[in-house]
């Protein structure tokens, strides 16, 4: 039997690794004959009888996502400059600089993400204050932007403003504009 050197041993290791990698690539590319996930047979843990009435009227009401509550004209009044509706409750100054967005969600969805949003705001913004007045929410402000989250019976609203020159030039400009927006939200 011939002696093997370090080069021959290295070649053997490479050959041992190539075959599994080639097989894995073939299986990934072909999907191993699988056209999708298997459909479970009716039984325990499946919805074999999907016509069961769960009687959840309160849960259904809490799952409603509110529509965008503002128009571009209303937003312009709050921020003191013309705004363009960019769709999906997003409004810009038409120059690609200033932006205001309102993200809506159901009350339940807002409750689920509130703690995380608040934690992030504490890390990003200079000041974060609770809104009070019986609503769950906060107002976060920094020199170039603001964020507010309100959770009420009408749903959850996250308002974000950034890069408004006029608001940033005033000592409390962002906070005042956001408070006006929050006052106009549906309750």
The whole-angstrom separation of Cα 93 and Cα 72 is 10
Statement: the pTM of the whole predicted model exceeds 0.75: no
Q: Is the pLDDT of residue 13 over 70?
A: no
Q: What is the mean pLDDT of residues 153-169?
A: 95
Average pLDDT, the chain: 79
Q: What is the mean pLDDT of residues 87-104?
A: 97
- Please count the other Cβ atoms lying within 10 Å of the Cβ belonging to residue 128: 18
The whole-angstrom separation of Cα 174 and Cα 92 is 16
User: Which residue intervals of 63-106 are DSSP H helices?
Assistant: 72-79
16: confidence class by pLDDT, cuts 50, 70, 90: low
Q: What residue ranges define each of the domains in the chain, with the CATH number in brackets? A: 65-184 (3.40.1000)
The whole-angstrom separation of Cα 146 and Cα 130 is 14
User: Cα angle vertex 118, ends 125, 136, to 5°?
Assistant: 120
């Amino acid at each position: 039997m011939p002696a093997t050197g370090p080069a021959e041993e290295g070649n053997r290791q490479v050959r041992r690794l190539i075959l599994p990698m080639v097989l894995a690539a073939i299986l990934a590319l072909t999907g191993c004959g699988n056209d999708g996930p298997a459909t479970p047979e009716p039984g325990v843990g499946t919805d074999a009888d999907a016509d069961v009435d769960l009687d959840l009227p309160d849960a259904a009401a809490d799952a409603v996502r509110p529509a965008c509550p503002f128009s571009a004209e209303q937003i312009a009044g709050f921020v003191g400059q013309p705004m363009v509706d960019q769709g999906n409750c997003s409004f810009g100054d038409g120059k690609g600089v200033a932006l205001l967005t309102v993200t809506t969600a159901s009350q339940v969805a807002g409750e689920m993400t509130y703690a995380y949003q608040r934690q992030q705001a504490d890390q990003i913004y200079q000041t974060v204050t609770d809104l009070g007045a019986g609503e769950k929410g906060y107002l976060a402000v920094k020199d170039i932007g603001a964020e507010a989250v309100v959770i009420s019976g009408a749903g959850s609203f996250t308002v974000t403003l950034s890069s408004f020159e006029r608001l940033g030039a005033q000592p409390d400009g962002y906070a005042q504009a956001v408070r006006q927006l929050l006052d106009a939200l549906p309750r």
